[in-house]
Amino acid sequence: MHALVAYAYLIPLLPLAAFVLIIFFGHRYFYRGSAWLAVLCTSASFVLSLAAFLHVLGGHGYVEPIRQDFTWIANFAPGAVDATGAALLHSSITLGVYIDRLAALMLMVVAGISTLTIFYSIGYMHEDPRYPRFFAYKSFFAFSMLGLVAAPNFFQMFVFWELVGLASYLLIGFWFEKTSASDAAKKAFITNRIGDVGFLIGLLLLFYYVGTVTFSDLTPDLLREKGFVGGMATFIGLALFCGAVGKSAQFPLHVWLPDAMEGPTSVSALIHSATMVAAGVYMIVRAYPVFAASETTLATIAAVGAITALGAAYIALTQTDIKRILAYSTLSQLGYMIFSCGCLGPVAAFFHLVTHACFKSLLFLGSGSVIHACHHEQDIRSMGSLRRYLPITHGTFLIACLALAGVFPLAGFFSKDEILLSAWHRYPAVFIIGEIVAALTAFYIFRLYFVAFGGERFRGTGVSPVQHGQDAHVTAGGQHGQDAHATPHESPWTMTLPLVILAILAVGVGWINWPWAERPWLAGFVHVEGGQHHHLSYLVMGVSTAAALLGLFFAWRKYSLGRALPPLEYSKVGFWYRLSLRKFWIDEFYKKYIVDGFTFGFCVVGMHDVFDRRIVDAFVNLCGRAYMLISAVHGLFDKYVVDGLVNFSAWFLALCSTVARRTQTGLAQSSLLILVLGLLVLIVWSAMMV
């Protein structure tokens, strides 16, 4: 295994190779083979990541992180100085891979889940007319995400940060004939760009303030030495946090994630739940000292995370689209991770990132299996008793639900407990919110479970207004159209195998950070100053277990025992229900006041264009006209004055010559007369002179 470490730089490059090969040659030469090529490359990346992980774990002693890089821009900002007036530590930009334990574990998560979802897509995307392109985009995503995770510095992270955004754009809009899909892709990109503005500003300011943006250099000691405190530290921290808010879909930039569910479900499983949306959390954990340098930044992070966790969980309570429920659940869980970062608990956040990646991608793949089985029906009210038809999907889905709800001893229990523990020690208010969210989480996920998998009969598509079926036929599998009311069927093995693997992980992955161990394993992955390891508290454990069971109990009582269905008529529901159903009207607010309202956004656009034509260009044309006017005046002057003078002189000469001609009669007497007259004049004149 250690021999493989020398090839660690191939971890992101292998999927890139798959992307290039498939995009240029896939459609023509290896249509079905493109999927296997993608699986091969990402699984090879996984093996390399595993080797790197085992290497940096290094038994007992500390092992230097793997560092393989090259200089991308050699002379970057030469001569510039940092805040203390010293020369910058790094006047160049390097790209490459930097793999410490944190990055290695994350690489394994990314490469592993990429492999599983790509494998799953072999069955899921089987009938799609753009089959090879899907795997090309998936490989491109894997490349970008692995490059992001392995980034040695903020520069590279930003580069790949944008590239994962592109991959996400391409995959959300994969079925771009649907207006809703292309709208969602666009919305995701632009919303992310808004966050990226902050990221870029923060990154550049950090570079000039501290003199380096290399992660291994950004230690608390260096930051203190460079005077990284106070207002500027807060500003930079918050600017960088903007990037995380965009990417990890935190309030108020969360609106793109639910819409991103327009993409194929295996995309949602990989990008919009497990990996890419966690990049914001990863960034904060990666450069934790930068954020921890300011109390204000931490408090803001905690507040944003807590608001998102609570709000999204509340919205998830009433949604009926299976993917949207999971999307809001993702928002809520990301909120957990973010507020944990704000509570000096980056280890807990990272731990939750890993466990969440397993059970949430399982939930999404399970829902994909359900959607596949129900002929592209996504409304849970049209499902029911699926446990009978889809035994494997049901079993794995139940495990994932229990893991998400945080039931002992599944993965979610341990990581959520760690998060709540850190909140308990830092901001008790956030702890209370976290416990409420835990109860809500158990409620909405088991509501989904009981409505879709429970019950005695399969309700079929007649129950709900058909709004998804129509879209589905455009894309994957037109032949499903005829038997839309047939009973569901279990998915092929290429789809169920990843479910089983992920289910095993969703059970066991929480044990890596066994809280009863002498020193929990993950604690050594991130060094936090001031955030000492909290010993396990049975109080916190007890409260969160009680919260989860409470939520589960209410969901069971209402939707399993009471056989209730979410209402179809929304006019009858009360305000609090509508508040959740309409997602606090945030989308409507943005649409009205920011996107296409007649208020700010497009008004400015229109004004610019009108201003450009009516004022700036009109002024130019006015100058032109004035010029023409002057030239017209000049022309008149030229014609009547200058040229008139010329003509006048010609006329005058002509006049003179006419007069003169009269004298030239040709007669001798006349000449003689003139001669005599001339002589006379001369004589008179000379006499006068004397």
Binding mask 150-189 for other proteins (x = CB under 8 A): --------xxx-xx--x------x--xx-x--xx-xx--x
The pattern of x and - marking residues 57 through 76 that bind other proteins according to CB under 8 A reads --------------xxxxxx
Query: Considering beta carbons, is residue 77 or 497 the nearer one to other proteins?
Result: 77
How does DSSP classify residue 312?
H
Residue 598 binds other proteins (CB under 8 A): no
Angle at 418 between CA 420 and CA 527, to 5 degrees: 120
Q: Of 250-258, 476-484, 614-622, 635-643, which segment contacts other proteins by CB under 8 A?
A: 614-622
Residue 301: CB minimum distance to other proteins, A: 21
Is 336 a residue that touches other proteins (CB under 8 A)?
no
Minimum Å gap between C-beta 304 and other proteins is 20
**Which 3 state secondary structure label does DSSP give 97?**
strand
The Cα 684–Cα 140 span in angstroms is 115
Pairing of strands 66-73, 93-99: antiparallel
Contact present, 174 and 264 (Cβ < 8 Å) = yes
What is the smallest separation between the CB atom of 147 and other proteins, expressed in angstroms? 10
- Is 620 a binder of other proteins (CB under 8 A)? yes
Give the nearest distance from C-beta 176 to other proteins in angstroms.
4
70-129: contacts with other proteins (CB under 8 A): 71-80
Give the list of residues 6+ apart from residue 198 with CB closer than 8 angstroms, or none: 238, 239, 240, 241, 242, 243, 245, 246
What are the Cα distances from residue 263, in Å, to 35, 188, 214, 631? 18, 11, 35, 64
Q: Is 605 in the site for other proteins (CB under 8 A)?
A: yes
Cα dihedral 55/59/62/67 (nearest 10): 0
**Tokens describing residue 634:** 């000049």
Q: What are the phi and psi torsion angles at 568 (to 5°)?
A: -95, -30
User: 53-58: which pairs have CB atoms within 8 A and are 24 or more residues apart?
Assistant: 53/101, 53/104, 53/105, 53/107, 53/108, 54/1, 54/2, 55/1, 55/2, 55/5, 56/99, 56/100, 56/101, 56/104, 57/101, 57/104
Report the SS3 class of residue 72: strand
- Smallest separation, CB 238 to other proteins (Å): 13
Residue 65 φ then ψ, to 5°: -65, 155
> Cα separation of 341 and 254, whole Å?
18
Which listed range, 58-66, 204-212, 297-305, 553-561, lies at the site for other proteins (CB under 8 A)?
204-212
* Alpha-carbon distances, residue 379 vs 7, 160, 483, 484, 600 (angstroms): 46, 35, 17, 14, 36
Binding-site size for other proteins (CB under 8 A) equals: 47
Does position 624 interact with other proteins (CB under 8 A)? The reply is yes
**Residue 68 vs 92, nearer CB to other proteins:** 92
Tell which positions 432-471 bind other proteins, by CB under 8 A: none
Cβ closest to other proteins, residue 174 vs residue 397? 174
Give CA angle at 293 (288, 297), nearest 5°: 85
Q: Which of 588, 609, 638, 643 binds other proteins (CB under 8 A)?
A: 609
How far is residue 278's CA from residue 113's CA, in Å, rounded to a whole number?
13
Residue 635 touching other proteins (CB under 8 A)? no
User: Of the two residues 55 and 187, which places its CB atom closer to other proteins in the complex?
Assistant: 187
- Applying CB under 8 A, the span of 200-208, 269-277, 282-290, 324-332 interacting with other proteins comes to 200-208
CA distance 273 to 169: 15
Q: Which of 5, 40, 54, 204 binds other proteins (CB under 8 A)?
A: 204
Q: Is residue 606 within the footprint of other proteins (CB under 8 A)?
A: yes
> Which lies closer to other proteins via its Cβ, residue 173 or residue 510?
173
Q: At 356, which amino acid appears?
A: H
Q: How far apart are CA 290 and CA 624, in angstroms?
A: 57
CA distance 14 to 18: 6
Round to whole Å and give the CA distance between 424 and 439: 17
Judged by CB, which is closer to other proteins: 127, or 643?
Answer: 127
Q: How far is the CB of 108 from other proteins (least distance, A)?
A: 25
CB nearer to other proteins: give 160 or 359. 160
Taking the complex as a whole, how short is the minimal distance between the CB of residue 673 and other proteins, in angstroms?
Answer: 59
Among 22, 118, 200, 249, binds other proteins (CB under 8 A): 200
In the complex, least distance from residue 252 CB atom to other proteins, rounded to whole angstroms? 15
Cβ distance to other proteins smaller for residue 80 or 680: 80
> Which of residues 57, 205, 512, 523 is near other proteins by CB under 8 A?
205
Which lies closer to other proteins via its Cβ, residue 207 or residue 288? 207
Structure tokens at 621: 């044309």
The least CB distance from residue 9 to other proteins, in Å, is 15
Tell the smallest beta-carbon distance from residue 606 to other proteins (Å).
6
Other Cβ atoms closer than 10 A to 234: 19
Which tokens sit at 566? 């979410």
Measured from the CB of residue 208, what is the shortest distance to other proteins in angstroms?
5
Q: Which of residues 299-318 bind other proteins (CB under 8 A)?
A: none
CB nearer to other proteins: pick between 594 and 673 = 594
Residues that bind other proteins (CB under 8 A): 71-80, 158-160, 162-163, 166, 173, 176-177, 179, 182-183, 185-186, 189-190, 193-194, 197, 200-201, 204-205, 207-208, 604-606, 608-609, 612, 616-617, 619-620, 624, 627
